[in-house]
Amino acid sequence: MPETPTDPPSTGPIDAEILDRIAAHLTRSSRFDDVHARPPYAPNAVVADYDLGYFPGGITRASLRIRWFETDDFSIHYSEQYRAGESWECRWDRHPNDHNTRNHLHPPPDAPTPGEDNDYPDEWRAVLATVLTRLDDRIEAFWNE
């Protein structure tokens, strides 16, 4: 369907090369049990499941879903699933939209829209390092409470 003048500009096609690099990078990290580059259920993303040994017993799944576009736009969605059926989520985004600036964060615990305007580095490695550091801080806080 063609875009209308009121539609935000497109993020463009998925950058498969960057997604493969991200998957390789995450595979080398002990944080993750499983890393899947463009699996059949998410062909536009890298999905990484955290090693649950890093989390308290009430968490049944913690994962990242990363999409990266040829325009250097991205979406990095983090989710924790709890035994009680609840979840804790946030999302780092860079994309054209009508709800925030191009760089923004949908904050926890439920990643609402609109999010909060934010700044991110330009390069994918730096963006990923920023996100993983924030998530490491979150995980460490479980054990310091």
Is residue 87 situated within a structural domain? yes
**What mean pLDDT comes out for the span 106-131?**
94
Is residue 123 situated within a structural domain? yes
Q: How far apart are CA 18 and CA 22, in angstroms?
A: 6
Average pLDDT of the chain is 91
**What mean pLDDT comes out for the span 126-139?**
96
CB 114 within 8 A of CB 105: no
Is residue 45 situated within a structural domain? yes
Q: What is the pLDDT of residue 98?
A: 86
The domain tally of the chain equals 1
Q: How far apart are CA 135 and CA 23, in angstroms?
A: 17
Domain that holds residue 79: 16-144
**What mean pLDDT comes out for the span 46-68?**
96
- Residue 59 amino acid letter: I
Name residue, tokens 């989520």.
Answer: 89
Torsion over CA of 34, 78, 118 and 20, rounded to 10 degrees? 20
Is residue 33 situated within a structural domain? yes
- Residue 6 amino acid letter: T
Is residue 3 situated within a structural domain? no
Is residue 26 situated within a structural domain? yes
**Per-residue pLDDT tens digits for 32-43:** 999 999 999 999
Q: Is the dihedral of CA 66, 117, 137, 21 positive or negative?
A: positive
Radius of gyration of the chain (CA): 16
* Single pTM value for the model: 0.90
